[in-house]
Amino acid sequence: MKRTILHSGNIFIKKNTFASAMVIEGSHIIYVGDDNKAFSYMEEDSEIIDLLFRTVVPGFNDSHLHLYYTGVALQSVDCYQAASIAEIIQRGKLFLQDHPHLTYIWGRGWNQDYFTDEQRLLTKDDLDQISTEVPIVFSRACGHVSSCNSAALTLLNLTEDTFVEGGVIGKDSQGVFNGIFYENAIQLLESLKPELTIDSVIDTLEFVSKKANEMGITSVGTNDLIIGSEDTSIIEQAYIEWAQKNPTVRVNHQVRFLTPQLLSQRIQEGYSPFSNDFLSYGPVKLFVDGSLGARTALLSQPYHDDPTTQGVECLSREQLAEFANIAHNNHIQLAIHAIGDLANQYVLDTYKLLDNPYNSARHGIIHSQITSQEQLDQYLKLQILSYAQPIFLHYDLHMVEDRVGKELASTSYAFNTLANLHGRLSFGSDAPVEPFNVIDGIHCAVNRQDKDYFPEGGWYPKQKVDLATAIEAFTYGGAIATFEEKKKGRLAPGYLADFVILSDDIFSMKPSEIRSVSIDKTMVNGIFVFEQ
């Protein structure tokens, strides 16, 4: 097999440990060390890469996102950073003009807190200005609120008796459906989407994988399978076929089940129908609450800026316990979405009751956003995995205190404290909630600032992490979450040749310069899948 020799670089091994050279043979690393020894591996057809003192890190592992749906979002109406309702409407009109053949339009990424005209949720009346004939569904950036137009509402045939457990169907002051759907009620809108095909899903996976490679991403934990929803069987089969067609991203499924009965049935049939080096089945994914931006995250006290609500409980304690016991008793990992402090407490209390010393099952909490100091202590005591998204700070740091008050905000997004989990902290993006730009995520974790470098000195700076910790959370932490820390997440002999060559020596730069770094090359399985 042809060897690739990289030399004269700054190869990140672990915190405070670097090498200058690395040798690749086939799909694996066979040597990491100094230049002289590396050149002893040279053969006639070896490829030689002069790193020019650039940094090399393990391939980035986005520990929680929605890979397929990120691909869908990247090919839909882009509502991100829209500054007004009027701009959303204009973007929708332009998209419809460019795609007149479409019988359904989906958009993603709007956030009412960015609107300068009216800071409110989109309604059917807004989206009717785009079209009253083509069904339109626009999802908020968090994915926990969606709005539709009148054409979509008509197709749903809603009545006063329509009810979705763990969800809310919005109405205006006159009691008329206003086109806003919250939490589990969003599932009703799924029926409006055009029929999926396996080939169309594979095309989307191939498209989004290349986009991920451009960001240096080589592995992901993805929640695209929702057992009990209409399209899941097609998406699942597409993943299986795609995984056998030279994929460029390693995927670990985080599988959501709509009922405990569906989980039990799946276990009886076989939880994991397929696996190879690029596709595996990981934890059961559950939702306890919603999002902070939409005020559906479940809090222990009323919202500081809206005393009428404490958020939405998507699963009761009893339902959560039933799910958790089924999974745990069948040796299946759990990764549970919890954003609000009460939601975090639900999950922590559930995990305490499981026979799981030192959390050998590696159960975890996705997001871990709003936490008290007592809860952080419980994370550490129980050794709970935390799947955190530092990129959330870009938006959230501007509104957390408004939502939960200063006292609770001061112990939230506590990355430095959670780093004391010694490898059980992993970072991701939750794309398409936020873009899967890892460099921006590292910046937010290290500097505790938004992408415009606000606030000066960082938001609650005691929770900053150092650069090495941030990179390890985006690499080794994700490997621990999938029980793969002996094969990926490090640059060492015997490990998979999944790595990223950065544009600069990021470790010699000021923290404020991190965002200037780009991805020069991405290797997966010994093959360069992206080159600048």
What local confidence, expressed as pLDDT, does residue 90 receive? Answer: 98
User: CA–CA separation, 17 vs 259, rounded Å?
Assistant: 47
Chain-wide mean pLDDT for the chain? 97
On whether both 17 and 104 belong to a single domain, the answer is no
Could you tell me if residue 179 is inside a domain?
A: yes
Q: Which domain holds residue 135?
A: 73-190
Mapping DSSP onto H, E and C, the string for 212-261 reads HHHCCEEEEEECCCEECECCHHHHHHHHHHHCCCCCCCEEEEEEEECCHH
Neighbours of 486 (CB within 10 A): 11
User: CA–CA separation, 323 vs 484, rounded Å?
Assistant: 25
Residues 24, 40 contacting (CB under 8 angstroms): no
Q: Is 101 a residue whose pLDDT tops 90?
A: no
Could you tell me if residue 475 is inside a domain?
A: no
What local confidence, expressed as pLDDT, does residue 230 receive? Answer: 82
Closest residue by Cα to residue 352 from 385, 381, 319, 388: 381
On whether both 50 and 97 belong to a single domain, the answer is no
On whether both 45 and 97 belong to a single domain, the answer is no
Q: Which of 139, 156, 190 is the last residue of a domain?
A: 190
Q: What's the mean pLDDT in 370-382?
A: 97
Name the pTM for this structure. 0.88
Q: What's the mean pLDDT in 52-76?
A: 96
| H helices present in 270-316, as ranges | none
What local confidence, expressed as pLDDT, does residue 399 receive? Answer: 97
68 Rama sector, left if φ>0, alpha if ψ -120 to 50, beta otherwise:
alpha
Q: What is the CATH number of the domain that holds 40?
A: 2.30.40.10
How many residues are listed for the chain in this entry? 532
Could you tell me if residue 234 is inside a domain?
A: no
Task: Categorize the per-residue pLDDT at 493 as very low, low, confident or very high, splitting at 50, 70 and 90.
Answer: very high
Could you tell me if residue 218 is inside a domain?
A: no
What local confidence, expressed as pLDDT, does residue 317 receive? Answer: 96
Q: Which of 91-95, 129-133, 226-230, 252-256 has the lowest mean pLDDT?
A: 226-230
What local confidence, expressed as pLDDT, does residue 423 receive? Answer: 78
What local confidence, expressed as pLDDT, does residue 451 receive? Answer: 97
Tell the residue number behind the tokens 């770094």, with chain if given.
517
Q: Kindly state the helix (H) or strand (E) to which residue 344 belongs, with its residue range.
A: helix 341-352
On whether both 79 and 182 belong to a single domain, the answer is yes
On whether both 180 and 84 belong to a single domain, the answer is yes
On whether both 95 and 186 belong to a single domain, the answer is yes
Could you tell me if residue 49 is inside a domain?
A: yes
Radius of gyration of the chain (CA): 23
On whether both 79 and 104 belong to a single domain, the answer is yes
What local confidence, expressed as pLDDT, does residue 342 receive? Answer: 99
Those residues with Cβ within 8 angstroms of residue 314's Cβ, 6 or more apart along the chain or in another chain: 166, 167, 183, 184, 287, 288, 289, 290
Per-residue pLDDT tens over the stretch 147-206? 999 999 999 999 999 999 999 999 999 999 999 999 999 999 988 988 899 999 999 999
SS3 state of residue 373: helix
- Cα angle 21-24-27, degrees, rounded to a multiple of 5: 150
Helix-, strand-, coil-residue percentages of the chain, each rounded to 5: 35, 25, 40
Q: Which of 145, 168, 190 is the last residue of a domain?
A: 190
Could you tell me if residue 483 is inside a domain?
A: no
Could you tell me if residue 113 is inside a domain?
A: yes
Provide the token pair at 109: 């990424």
On whether both 90 and 33 belong to a single domain, the answer is no
Q: Kindly state the helix (H) or strand (E) to which residue 401 belongs, with its residue range.
A: helix 400-404
User: CA–CA separation, 273 vs 482, rounded Å?
Assistant: 17
Q: Kindly state the helix (H) or strand (E) to which residue 336 belongs, with its residue range.
A: strand 334-338
SS3 state of residue 33: strand
Q: Is 30 a residue whose pLDDT tops 90?
A: yes
Q: What's the mean pLDDT in 322-330?
A: 98
Total domain count for the chain? 2
Per-residue pLDDT tens over the stretch 399-420? 999 999 999 999 999 999 999 9
* Single-letter amino acid, residue 276: N
Per the DSSP assignment, residues forming a β-bridge with 108 are: 78, 139
Neighbours of 185 (CB within 10 A): 21
Could you tell me if residue 373 is inside a domain?
A: no
Q: What is the CATH number of the domain that holds 162?
A: 3.10.310.70
| H helices present in 412-492, as ranges | 415-418, 438-447, 467-473, 476-481
Task: Categorize the per-residue pLDDT at 439 as very low, low, confident or very high, splitting at 50, 70 and 90.
Answer: very high
What local confidence, expressed as pLDDT, does residue 99 receive? Answer: 87
Q: Kindly state the helix (H) or strand (E) to which residue 268 belongs, with its residue range.
A: helix 260-269
User: CA–CA separation, 446 vs 473, rounded Å?
Assistant: 12
On whether both 103 and 128 belong to a single domain, the answer is yes
What local confidence, expressed as pLDDT, does residue 73 receive? Answer: 87
What local confidence, expressed as pLDDT, does residue 422 receive? Answer: 80
Measure Cα distances from 445 to 54, 268, 409 in Å: 22, 41, 16
On whether both 50 and 101 belong to a single domain, the answer is no
**What's the maximum distance between 2 C-alpha atoms anywhere in the chain?**
79
Q: Which of 190, 207, 223 is the last residue of a domain?
A: 190
What local confidence, expressed as pLDDT, does residue 333 receive? Answer: 99
On whether both 26 and 131 belong to a single domain, the answer is no
On whether both 107 and 183 belong to a single domain, the answer is yes
Q: What's the mean pLDDT in 504-527?
A: 98
What local confidence, expressed as pLDDT, does residue 113 receive? Answer: 92
Cα–chain-centroid distance for residue 111?
Answer: 18
Task: Categorize the per-residue pLDDT at 139 as very low, low, confident or very high, splitting at 50, 70 and 90.
Answer: very high
Residues 244, 275 contacting (CB under 8 angstroms): no
**Order of strands, edge to edge, in the sheet holding 28-33?**
28-33, 21-25, 3-7, 47-50
| H helices present in 54-149, as ranges | 67-74, 85-98, 124-127
